[in-house]
Amino acid sequence: MLFENTKETNVSIRVNVGPENYERIEELFDYLEKFPKERMKIYFRWIFQASERNEEFHIHVRDFRKENSFTKLSKLYEMAINRGFKVMLPILNGDMYCEFDNVYNMVIGPEGEIYPCTVAVEEGMEFGKIENGKIKLETKNI
């Protein structure tokens, strides 16, 4: 939608990785092939526990990662590069570690919800929504 509505928007795509989607990242690359690669960068992060909710799920993610965490993510970066996608390593990208560190960043949830960063992805923390191809901000939550 962003690529269709503008000719200049660059998009960084953070892919939260866990045991349920690790083996399916190629499907994401297949889907992204229809968008202009020169206007997007992809990076990968393990799903992490930001709250006490879903503790059992987060234990499952940690068990999947184990000591091969870096190697497993490295394979995803290699796959992306081999498919012609640009990648980025945010921790090595200037002063930015969290998406909230940059005014131009936002996190878009699966239903179009807009959040300030990945740690704040939970009900009540959204400050806008993408609906019918338009971004609607709720300034009271900003």
Q: pLDDT tens digits for 70-79?
A: 888 899 999 9
Between 104 and 94, the more confident residue is 104
The model's pTM:
0.67
**Per-residue pLDDT at 116:** 76
Count the domains in the chain: 2
Average pLDDT over residues 12-41: 89
- Same domain for 60 and 120, yes or no, is no
Structural domain boundaries enclosing 113: 105-142
Indicate if the pLDDT at residue 88 is higher than 70: yes
Task: Tell me what the mean pLDDT of segment 108-133 comes to.
Answer: 77
Q: HEC states along the chain?
A: CHHHHCCCCCEEEEEEECCCCHHHHHHHHHHHCCCCHHHEEEEEEECCCCCCCCHHHHHHHHHHHHHHHHHHHHHHHHHHHHCCCEECCHHHCCCCCCHHHCCCCCEECCCCEEECCHHHCCCCCCCEEEECCEEEECHHHC
Does residue 85 share a domain with residue 62? yes
Tell whether 20 and 49 lie within a shared domain: yes
Asked if the structure places residue 98 within a domain, the reply is no
